[in-house]
Structure 1
Amino acid sequence: MTWQLRRAHEADLEAIMHLETITFVHDAWSPTMMARDLGDPACFYLVAFPPDEPSAVEGYAGLLAPRGAVEGDIQTIAVAESARGRGLGRTLMQALINEARKRGARLIFLEVRADNPGAQRLYERLGFIEVGVRRGYYQPDNVDAIVMRLDIPELESMLVETS
């Protein structure tokens, strides 16, 4: 399956919130919080959809990385259950990492639920390392957050030489 990615806009709020509330049942962001990030120039949000179906949002992800800042933060990422296991999460994460690099960030942080080993594996495969734990971070479930960091590789080091 292939997806198209585009920058999320306020018009995507309803589709994003639908996915947000079914993915993060107990700790979903409010529409007000999400709308604030969508309109913030320091943030970069993407939506993913099947080609030719731009209103069928199957995933979204958001980055907070003010231009020129050394650090960025993955704010959120969600993939519809029907689209999981097919590389969409990786695609969204790579797009956010690339955007953070363009904005000048050299480090990216994120929090992931301690009870979400699938997401932890994805982040580890992308090069994130565990740097701490926030006890009881996710409420009302009282689930710990694992804090992870990625040292963003220079673009040149990611290119593969061909002979």
Structure 2
Amino acid sequence: MPPSVRLRTARAADLPALLALEQTFPGDRMSARQFRHHLASPRARWRVADAGGTLLGYALVLLRRDSTRARLYSIAVDPAARGQGLGRRLLAAAEKDAAQAGCTAMSLEVRQDNPTANALYQSAGYRRLAALPAYYEDGAPGWRYLKRATPNEPGSFAGSGK
């Protein structure tokens, strides 16, 4: 990945670029209204990958009230920027944000037919918890994953989990 890519917190002005990134999903896309809601929510943690003003990816983590489990709600990388470690970098930043918010675990859902995303989560230490039949709007099944904080580093999701 080019060194000029920096991760930062998303802001309202990023909405058009976030919507464009959302188009990389085959379905189950967030609407502009949902993005605005999450951008304004104190329970949401955003990271965007910014390359000189161009957004190449984002990660959205939702924090639950009265819970120490965060949820990776969505992560997207521009197809032209894939294969450069950006998804892994966004995931690590999302985990760091969750840990800083006091979370001790993070869950996520992913399509079963997305081998790249499944490999990323497994290599990052996520454990498959459950199959989710017909989970997506097109009827595709999903997987639910969970990663707990590293025991020897409380409040941290660091490490590959291998």
- Relative to the length of structure 2, the TM-score reads 0.89
Paired position in structure 2 for 1:76? 74
- Conserved? CA contact 1:43–1:66, under 8 Å: no
Amino acid of the structure 2 residue aligned with 1:149: L
Q: 1:6 aligns with which of 8, 12, 17?
A: 8
Q: 1:133 aligns with which of 122, 131, 134?
A: 131
CA-atom RMSD in angstroms: 1.7
Q: Percent identity?
A: 33
- Relative to the length of structure 1, the TM-score reads 0.88
Q: 2:148 aligns with which of 151, 154, 157?
A: 151
**Equivalent residue of 2:120, what SS?**
helix
1:9 offset after TM fit, Å?
A: 1.0
Q: Which has the higher helix share?
A: 1
Amino acid of the structure 2 residue aligned with 1:6: R
What are structure 2's unaligned runs of at least 5 residues? none
1:89-146 Cα shifts (integer Å, max 9, x gaps): 000000010111111111100000010010000001110010001111111x210110
**Equivalent residue of 1:136, what SS?**
coil
Query: Is it true that 1:34 corresponds to 2:16 in the alignment?
Result: no
What are structure 1's unaligned runs of at least 5 residues? none
**Equivalent residue of 1:97, what SS?**
helix
Amino acid of the structure 2 residue aligned with 1:125: S
What is the count of residue pairs matched by the alignment? Answer: 154
Q: C-alpha distance in 1, partners of 2:73/2:131?
A: 17
1:40 offset after TM fit, Å?
A: 0.5
Q: C-alpha distance in 2, partners of 1:134/1:35?
A: 28
Paired position in structure 2 for 1:16? 18
Amino acid of the structure 1 residue aligned with 2:139: N
